[in-house]
């Protein structure tokens, strides 16, 4: 069983999907800590309601010293015996040293079909580009932003009349389906998943 830490900065809907997935199948992986840099993150109350331990390391007192901020996070992660990290809307970029420390043991979900639309505002950029499909990618975190090896991708249609928010809501539903599956498969056998990433096509069409 792998001890998983989930890092978030906001709402935590992906965290909730991950926790529910692990709680349904605790043999592979278990959520041992939800850690936020944002004391006001909605995901903290959500995690507590799911019975998962939470911690906050506010980045603001560490202005300009990312290494010290990350060291403080490491104290919490070590205390909880965390072996693997899932980023779930964690809005801080990590230093190369921290990324190297977790090399091959830290995964992320990004709201686009990578390598398209790395970075922020992916839904607005997808609409601007006029693509007919969009979606999300689960990937291993490496030093280059949104560029690590792909573990799974889910595709949703772009519809006439879509706004960034409507498209984001459609993608988010796909995120909640693919991320728990990918996390559990990764915890079980990372090499097998890397060799055969999950592809989710033709998801239920509910708006």
Binding site for ligand GRF (CB under 6 A): 8, 10-15, 43, 88-89, 109-111, 136, 172, 175
CB of 27 to ligand GRF, least distance (A): 25
CB of 75 to ligand GRF, least distance (A): 24
Cβ proximity to ligand GRF, 64 vs 118, nearer residue:
118
CB of 102 to ligand GRF, least distance (A): 17
Query: Is 17 in contact with 154 (CB distance < 8 Å)?
Result: no
Catalytic, 110? Answer yes
Cβ proximity to ligand GRF, 109 vs 183, nearer residue:
109
ω into 166 cis (within 30 of 0): no
CB of 130 to ligand GRF, least distance (A): 21
Residues 134, 62: Cα–Cα separation, whole Å:
37
Residues 139, 182: Cα–Cα separation, whole Å:
9
Would you state the torsion angle of the CA atoms of residues 138, 143, 146, 150, taken in this order, to the nearest 10 degrees? -40
Which member of 110, 123, 134, 139 is catalytic? 110
Q: Left, alpha or beta for 121 (phi > 0: left; psi -120 to 50: alpha)?
A: left
Cβ proximity to ligand GRF, 13 vs 37, nearer residue:
13
Cβ proximity to ligand GRF, 70 vs 175, nearer residue:
175
Q: Where are the alpha helices (DSSP H) in the chain?
A: 13-24, 42-49, 66-79, 96-101, 122-129, 164-188, 190-195
Cβ proximity to ligand GRF, 61 vs 119, nearer residue:
119
Q: 136: Cβ–Cβ under 8 A, 6 or more apart, which residues?
A: 109, 110, 111, 112, 113, 153, 154, 171, 174, 175, 178
CB of 15 to ligand GRF, least distance (A): 6
Catalytic residues: 110
């Amino acid at each position: 069983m792998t001890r998983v830490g989930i890092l978030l900065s906001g709402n935590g809907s992906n965290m909730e999907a991950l926790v529910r997935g692990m709680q349904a199948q605790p043999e592979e992986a278990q959520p041992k800590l939800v850690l936020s840099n944002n004391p006001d993150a909605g995901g903290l109350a959500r995690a507590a309601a799911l019975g998962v331990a939470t911690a906050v390391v506010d980045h603001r007192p560490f202005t300009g010293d990312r290494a010290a901020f990350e060291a403080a996070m490491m104290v919490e992660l070590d205390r909880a015996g965390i072996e693997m990290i899932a980023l779930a809307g964690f809005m801080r970029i990590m230093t190369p040293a921290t990324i190297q420390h977790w090399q091959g043991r830290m995964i992320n979900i990004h709201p686009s079909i990578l390598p398209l639309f790395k970075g922020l505002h992916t839904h607005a950029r997808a609409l601007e580009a006029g693509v007919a499909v969009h979606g999300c990618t689960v990937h291993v975190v490496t030093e280059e932003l949104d560029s690590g090896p792909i573990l799974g991708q889910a595709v949703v249609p772009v519809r006439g009349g879509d706004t960034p928010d409507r498209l984001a809501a459609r993608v988010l539903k796909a995120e909640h389906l693919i991320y728990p599956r990918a996390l559990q498969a990764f915890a079980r056998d990372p090499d097998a998943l890397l060799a055969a990433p999950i592809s989710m096509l033709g998801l239920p069409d509910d708006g």
